Amino acid sequence: MPILSPKLDVPLSSPHLPVPIMFRSAYVPAEGLYPQHQHAWGEFVYSFSGVMEVKVAGHHYLAPPQYGVWLPPNLDHVGLNRQEAHHASLYVSAPLCAVLPAEPCALTVSPLARALLEHLHAQSVRKTASEAGARLLQVLVDLLVAAPRVGSYLPTSDDPALGSVLRWLEAHPGDNRPVPELAAQVHTTERTLMRRSQRDLGMGLLQWRQRLRVVKAMALLERGQTVETIALDLGYGSASAFIAMFKRLAGTTPDEYRKTAAGGIKGN
């Protein structure tokens, strides 16, 4: 697993950023790892393509491209990605973080916020650091302040029974066995499993499984697999059923997602 560095112009141990808001973007190889670190400023992590993951104090935050992960200041965290990814980090000085969430979470990225992130990536470092660039960065922070908080897109659980089911589903995303069978597999009842799912995940198992399939599909789309093959591999009887699910959860069709992701990778 390649060990990555944030490549900042300021040491991570510094108590201050040189400017109130900083932006950087990077292309990282598959299985890239940012080892555990912290800094005295907040960080918003966004992935243009691929799925970035952040581990914080035993919690695993995963955000596909329609979400980003917010990390308050002075928080130990690890960043990683399973597939090749193109991501950005928005660093926010501690005083400005007062209006942002006090706890780590995923934030919904609006079309305007995404357009700003893409525009900032396209600019040179000099332009981003200009007075005009600073105004755009402040607008982006304002959008994040107003963004809906969604916790983690694909949360996990330490519960022995539920955690076992989640790990099994992750290893077999195309399996369609119903919840009662999943419950019997870990020697519990459907009612108990669903109650623990709502408690730990904030959603039912069926919704969690659909989100898992979206995440798995994104990686397969970026590898060039056909929509029809992905649909069958993920347990759908037809490509149309898979496309409808993907568009409902991801806000775009599989082919549109593939084109966007390919554009991001080629921009390197």
Domains of the chain in sequence order = 21-151 (2.60.120.280), 160-266 (1.10.10.60)
The bridge status of strand 105-108 relative to strand 149-151 is antiparallel
Residue 209 has a pLDDT of 96
CA–CA separation, 107 and 132 (whole Å): 25
Contacts of 181 (CB under 8 A, 6+ apart): none
Single-letter amino acid code for the residue at 189: T
Local confidence pLDDT in tens for the 268 residues of the chain: 566 556 666 776 687 888 999 998 888 887 888 888 889 999 999 988 877 888 887 677 877 778 899 999 999 999 888 777 888 999 999 999 999 999 998 899 999 999 999 999 888 766 667 888 899 999 999 999 999 988 778 888 889 999 999 999 999 999 999 999 999 999 999 999 999 999 999 999 999 999 999 989 988 888 889 999 999 999 999 999 999 999 998 888 999 888 876 665 444 4
| CA Rg value for the chain | 19
pLDDT in the model for residue 51: 79
pLDDT digits (tens, 9 = 90+) for 1-27: 566 556 666 776 687 888 999 998 888
Give the predicted TM-score (pTM) of the model. Answer: 0.75
Strand order in the sheet with 85-92: 21-28, 85-92, 42-49, 67-71, 105-108, 149-151
Interacting residues of 4 by C-beta distance below 8 A, sequence separation 6+? 26, 28, 32, 33, 34, 79
Tokens 């009612």, residue located: 191
| Nearest-angstrom CA–CA distance, 218 and 212 | 10
Amino acid identity, residue 74?
N
Give the pLDDT confidence score for residue 14 in this predicted structure. Answer: 80
